[in-house]
Amino acid sequence: MKAKVFTIFTLVIFFAMVLSGAVTAQVPQHTLIEKGEELHPFPTHEGAIQQMTDSQAWNVTLIGQISGFASNIAVAGDYAYVSDEYGGLHIIDVSVPSAPVEVGFYDTPGYALDVAVVGDYAYVTDWDLRIIDVSSPTSPIEVGFYNTPGYAINLTVAGKYAYVADDFAGLRIIDVSSPTSPIEVGFNDTQWAMWVTVAGDYAYVTTSMGSYGRLSIIDVSVPNAPIEVGFYDLGNYPGSVAASGNYAYIGQYQGLSIIDVSVPSAPVCVGYFFLPEYEYASAVAVAGKYAYVADSFAGLRIIDVSIPNAPVEVGFYDTTGIDQASDVTVAGNYAFVANGYGGLLILAYTPYKMHLPLMMR
């Protein structure tokens, strides 16, 4: 009994000290680095990454960074593939996450918006579809091209097909089994397609017309005859969509919507998380029980979605003062964030755990 009383008394004293400022939690803190004009690694020697204020990062550590302009990103193996809008495609060696270095570059003729990588090929939307052989990362070369009828904005590649969100021309399905001769095999006229992801037999497409947006669920089990089987009205500015299990996760202005798509013909919103600072969630990636949200000028937000109807934020890295986070992908233990003029950020979710003295356990 005495031991329990002593433990409770000790805890009271300890937390009183915390509240008074006598004891502080030492959380890894990092600072934001200046903008750069060209892609090159920042120094990574001791002191190169300085401290941030507590308000700028929580449970997230900056591991590495490379400057330049980064719009969207894909990661495969030891390389990150960064679309640079007017600057084309950059290939970054991230085998040492603390010291990323550019090894290759291809200047697409259009406006490089999105990139997906499968095997030896990078697929880039630059208003059209470009197929680039990246088997030699130092010497990427375009081997195929498809002129879509709209403006190719975003894409995902699954199996032998590229699924392209083609703005006013809807969803286009392109057979890329022969990279040098891609050919369209089907389309669905869900107008103003902005973002697409594919899971199983379904493509999930966010569409936007002014401030009105919706999620369109399209059965692509027959690629030459895709058909919409369900939709959900989102109400305001949709961004990206990610799908995992029975749920679709949609970034929007001010928030993250969690949609139950277990019945594709009757999707229903089961959860919503209000993002801070009235920012726009331009991209979402889901890994395990976490949704990683590129939240424009509010940076990277990490949301625990293990309970879909009660999502909760568990970490963030605020890029205020650098630029806006526009895309995010997760590979291994790292989140790779395309941060506009702030370049590519490599971050790690590092939840802080308070360790009590043995006598208090």
Residue 25 has pLDDT above 60, yes or no: no
pLDDT at 361 over 60: no
Residue-range definition of the domain harbouring residue 237? 2-360
The backbone torsions φ and ψ at residue 247, rounded to the nearest 5 degrees and listed phi first, read -130, 145
Residue 44: C-alpha distances to residues 38, 48, 49, 50, 343 (Å): 17, 5, 7, 11, 15
Q: Among residues of the chain, what percentage have pLDDT more than 70?
A: 80
pLDDT tens column, 234-248 = 977 787 999 999 999
Provide the token pair at 341.
């003029």
pLDDT tens profile 111-144:
999 999 999 999 999 999 999 999 999 999 999 9
Distance CA 248, CA 106 (A): 33
Band of pLDDT at residue 17, cut at 50, 70 and 90: very low
Could you report the per-residue pLDDT of 256-289, keeping only the tens digit for each?
999 999 999 999 999 999 987 667 899 999 999 9
CATH number of domain containing 36 = 2.130.10.10
3-state secondary structure of 148: coil
pLDDT at 104 over 50: yes
| Number of structural domains in the chain | 1
